[in-house]
Every structure is written in C-alpha cells, then in structure tokens.
C-alpha cells in the first residue's frame, strides 16, 4: 500500500503531462492540400474595363492648357490677373503657383478660370513666371515687374519756405 498512492499519482501526472503533446501530434497530421494546376504564360495582365473608363485615355490626351497674364508689365505693389484656358476639360481644379512660390487652388468652369495676384511692393524689377498645373499638365506665363512709382514731393503742403 505504501507504493500504491505514489505510483497512482505518478501515473496520473504523467498522463496529464503527455495529453497536450499527444493532442498536438494528432493535430499536425497531414491535411489535404489542393493539387497544383498548370499555369499558362500570360503576355499582359487582364484589365477590367468599366463603363466610365472607356474614353478616359482619349480625354486625357485631348487636354491642352494655356495660361496668360494681363497686364504683361506690372508695377511692384500692383495686381495682375492670371487667365487659365484648359481645352478639352470642362471642370476640375487648377493650381496657380506665383513667382514667390505660393500655391492657389482655382476651380475651372467651362475649362476657364482666372486668379488675381499681387506683386509684392518690395519686389525688384525683372521678369517673373507664373506656373499653372491642371492634372499632369503644366503651363507657364511670363510678365515683367517694373519699379514702383516714386512718390513725388507734395509742394502744396509746405510751410512757405523754400
């Protein structure tokens, strides 16, 4: 009897320890796998055509972008107007990039848009370029900045002495 109790505990603990290992051994058994299929060589991947994508490439190629600046000579501190004409595009968004590097978003209506910009009052005289981006198209327009008009001395407000 002395050996019966420890022997029973040993057998029970061994069985409890071995049970998880036997379960994992049974779980790792071979599973049925799908048979490999023969692959045919493809020259190009298949492309699904949607109804709205049919003429997308034709429309993209037909877009032409023209930009103009009015007036062509602008005084420092004065405003000028950038006119955008996107032929082949009725609506969308254009990004106008000023010579100073600032970006402005403009909505196209009927393929046209305008944006009024101002030359900084401390800008030096010289040629400047405005860039416009519509989609993947970019166009530029140049204009000339002239020196600001010098303020002439107002002779009406003198104290009577010369």
Residue at 93 is within a domain? yes
Residue with tokens 């968004």: 93
Domain membership of residue 36 (yes or no) is no
Nearest to residue 57, comparing CAs of 140, 135, 151?
135
C-alpha 112/C-alpha 85 separation (Å) is 5
Cis peptide before 71 (omega within 30 of 0): yes
Write down the pLDDT at residue 101.
93
41/48 Cα distance (integer angstroms) = 19
The H or E element containing residue 81 is: strand 79-87
CA 99, CA 129: separation in Å to the nearest integer?
Answer: 6
* Residue 153 falls inside a structural domain: no
Residues 103-162 pLDDT 10s: 999 999 998 999 999 999 888 999 999 999 998 899 999 999 998 776 666 666 666 665
Question: Residue 106 has what pLDDT?
Answer: 95
| Cα 151 to Cα 139: distance, rounded to the nearest angstrom | 37
Reading phi first (left if > 0) and then psi (alpha if -120 to 50, else beta), residue 120 is in beta
In-domain check, residue 120: yes
Query: Residue 116 has what pLDDT?
Result: 96
Q: Is residue 130 part of a domain?
A: yes
Say what the pLDDT of residue 68 is. Answer: 93
The SS3 call for residue 162 is: coil
Distance between CA atoms of residues 97 and 89, nearest Å: 20
Fill in the DSSP letter of residue 36.
P
Domain count for the chain, please give it.
1
The per-residue pLDDT for range 25-69, each reduced to its tens digit, is: 555 556 666 777 666 665 555 555 555 555 555 445 568 899 999
> φ, ψ for residue 113 (rounded to 5)?
-160, 155
Task: Pick the more confident residue, 46 or 100.
Answer: 100
Q: Distance between CA 68 and CA 89 in Å, rounded?
A: 18
Q: What is the pLDDT of residues 126-142, one digit of tens each?
A: 999 999 999 889 999 99
Q: What is the pLDDT of residue 141?
A: 95
Residue 156 covered by a domain: no
**Domain containing 98: what range?**
61-146
Q: Residue 78 sits in a domain of what CATH number?
A: 2.60.40.1930
What is residue 61's predicted lDDT score, i.e. its pLDDT?
A: 54
């Amino acid at each position: 009897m002395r050996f019966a109790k420890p022997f029973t505990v040993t057998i029970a603990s061994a069985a409890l320890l071995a049970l998880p290992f036997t379960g994992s051994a049974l779980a790792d058994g071979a599973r049925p796998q799908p048979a490999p299929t023969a692959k045919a060589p493809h020259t190009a991947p298949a492309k699904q055509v949607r109804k709205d994508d049919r003429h997308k490439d034709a429309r993209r190629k037909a877009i032409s972008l023209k930009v103009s600046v009015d007036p062509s000579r602008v005084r420092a501190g004065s405003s000028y107007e950038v006119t955008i004409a996107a032929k082949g595009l009725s609506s969308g968004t254009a990004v106008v990039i000023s010579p100073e590097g600032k970006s402005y978003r403009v909505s196209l209506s009927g393929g046209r848009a305008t944006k009024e910009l101002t030359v900084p009052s401390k800008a030096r005289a010289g040629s400047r370029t405005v860039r416009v981006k519509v989609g993947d198209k970019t166009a530029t327009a140049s204009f000339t900045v002239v020196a600001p008009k010098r303020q002439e001395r107002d002779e009406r407000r003198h104290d009577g002495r010369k």
